[in-house]
Chain A
């Protein structure tokens, strides 16, 4: 059991490293841009997945992504703060706002929390549109990464997304991550052994929002222009689509979902069709046929093809120290 998890960690690290390095070999501007958007989409979906550890659907993710983008954008263009501190500031502002927001709203659960997140996202969008110092309706322009990056900015952005996706996974595997999962399963039990459930939820939400905020900052630096309409609730919906299509039970799910759906979307754009039709169809198919998403299909295929073909004794013996307990179960029941 532990060995498999350990392997997954290594596998995830390798995949992320390869994807980041692979982006260095992209030559045409369109592919490079698409790769960055895929990385940002994967990051959003990973952040959303992180908050699902406590059992909540964070529809406010678009708001914190937006706060990150506007925070970094304003720091750079209004206050002339240099690139790296500005980038970091986007994440920090998003995290700080989310800690206050989470402290108040995480007393609610399920649909109530989701609706508050949705409302907050819309409030923030209207707030940007009404704030002239943030560019109002037409948005903010001139958010450029330093020229010293040259052509390496895409690699930097994708690499940073990868590092954060990996960091979220490592937190999920830690004791704190176990506490979060336990809260989703049964928060009363966690509270009854003396763990501050509310604070754990707020911190989880804060971490997810920090990551979303950094993602938003990178969005601004990639697009050079941001406007209120970029950060509506549709962004949260798409993040959810990447997560569901990719598979929410695995750390690979968000990446796989984002890459596949954005690739489909770019093909659909080329054909002159709306990408949203593809997204819609993909979500319906994924939810109806593959509840564990694309990752579910892959792991099913892996089991069918690799494990069945391999000499049965070896593979099965290793993964089943359960023979003894099964025997005991009968004893206790009988």
Chain B
């Protein structure tokens, strides 16, 4: 937990204000008879790192897909950056400044690392010159420590580097909200530490807000300003890592115990 104190500078802590960047209200999504997300309301504040956690099948991925426009909600409303975006396509939402990654392989395997990040730069700078995009790619690569790999084919690199490439692609457009879907899965402790440092840098230098869906509880507790816990598609708890850690309902949801047992 010491790491958090080192990584989070006072500036970043104060920058994570209370201004709401995105908000979902009474969000529900049904798949046939299954209610994957039920009457969920939550908000994402500008410049914070928000963790979205919950046991398997809690509706994290569905929520993620709903927020990024890849699924349409059955009911409820979505607001992003001061506008209602309910029912908007994934393209419209990503152009509004919300960029997401994907759980399994969020990169172009046959292309070089440079070209991978370039795709993100093209998305963020649709009318820019080649030079401006090249600068963007290099800044991003530099920030994530991918500089030495720029000319390598992405698919041939180790898993940890591939995860960083995914994050580089997604952060190259400098999104207002960067949504990361389990970015730490399969990483060893060293790589997790490196990646958490990268999140902090992305927030501070690129000014992104980060929504993190993640199973690695230790990492989530360490990096997040606030945490939202889902269970059976419903909001179970929300609060700071300390609140969540000491919340009995959350503990029993994760450990399968009834409170008081």
Q: Which residues of A contact B (CB under 8 A)?
A: 1, 175, 178-179, 181-182, 184-186, 188-197, 321-322, 324-325, 328-329, 332-333
Contacts and interface: CB of A to CB of B under 8 A. Distances in A.
Nearest to A196: B91
A324 B146 CA distance: 12
A1 B111 CA distance: 13
A194 B91 contact: yes
Nearest to B100: A192
8 contacts: A1-B112, A1-B151, A178-B122, A181-B110, A182-B116, A193-B94, A193-B173, A332-B191
B169 A194 contact: no
Given A175-B118, A182-B119, A189-B102, A332 B160 contact: yes
Interface in B85-117: 90-91, 94-95, 99-102, 105-112, 115-116
Contact of B108 (A175, A186, A197): A186
Closest CB pairs A-B (n = 4): A193-B123, A185-B108, A194-B94, A194-B123
Nearest to A199: B91
Nearest to A324: B148
B170 A192 contact: yes
B46 interface: no
B105 A186 contact: yes
A35 B60 CA distance: 61
A29 B155 CA distance: 50
Given A184-B110, A193-B120, A333-B160, 9 more contacts: A175-B130, A190-B119, A192-B90, A194-B123, A322-B152, A324-B148, A329-B157, A332-B158, A332-B161
A175 B158 contact: no
Most buried by A among B106, B123, B130, B194: B123
B68 interface: yes
The interface size bin for chain B is 35 or more
A329 B158 contact: yes
B196 interface: no
Nearest to B68: A192
Where chain A touches its partner, the secondary structure class is helix
A192 B99 contact: yes
A61 B170 CA distance: 35
A184 B160 CA distance: 23
Contacts of B29: none
Contacts of A186: 105-109
Most buried by A among B119, B133, B157: B119
A333 B158 contact: yes
Interface in B72-94: 90-91, 94
Contacts of B27: none
Given A178-B118, A325-B148, A189 B161 contact: no
B94 A178 contact: no
B149 interface: yes
A185 B102 contact: no
Given A191-B91, A192-B102, A193-B120, A182 B157 contact: no
Interface in B1-48: none
Contacts of A332: 158, 160-161, 190-191, 194
A186 B124 CA distance: 18
Contact of A325 (B110, B152, B160): B152
Nearest to B116: A182
Contacts of A321: 151
A271 B173 CA distance: 61
B172 interface: yes
A318 to B, nearest CB: 13
Contacts of A322: 151-152
A194 B158 contact: no
A196 B93 CA distance: 12
A181 B107 CA distance: 12
Contacts of A329: 157-158, 161
B150 to A, nearest CB: 9
A231 B111 CA distance: 36
Contact of B119 (A1, A193, A196): A193
B133 A175 contact: yes
Given A175-B122, A179-B122, A193 B169 contact: yes
Interface string B180-195: 0000000010110010
B243 to A, nearest CB: 32
Most buried by B among A192, A193, A197, A328: A192
Contacts of B94: 191-194
Contact of A189 (B106, B124, B190): B106
B108 A325 contact: no
B61 to A, nearest CB: 14
A185 B161 contact: no
Most buried by B among A188, A325, A328: A325
A177 to B, nearest CB: 10
A334 B126 CA distance: 39
Contacts of A179: 119, 122
Given A190-B119, A193-B173, A321-B151, A178 B191 contact: no
Interface string B119-143: 1101110100010010000000000
A332 to B, nearest CB: 5
A47 to B, nearest CB: 21
Contacts of B116: 182
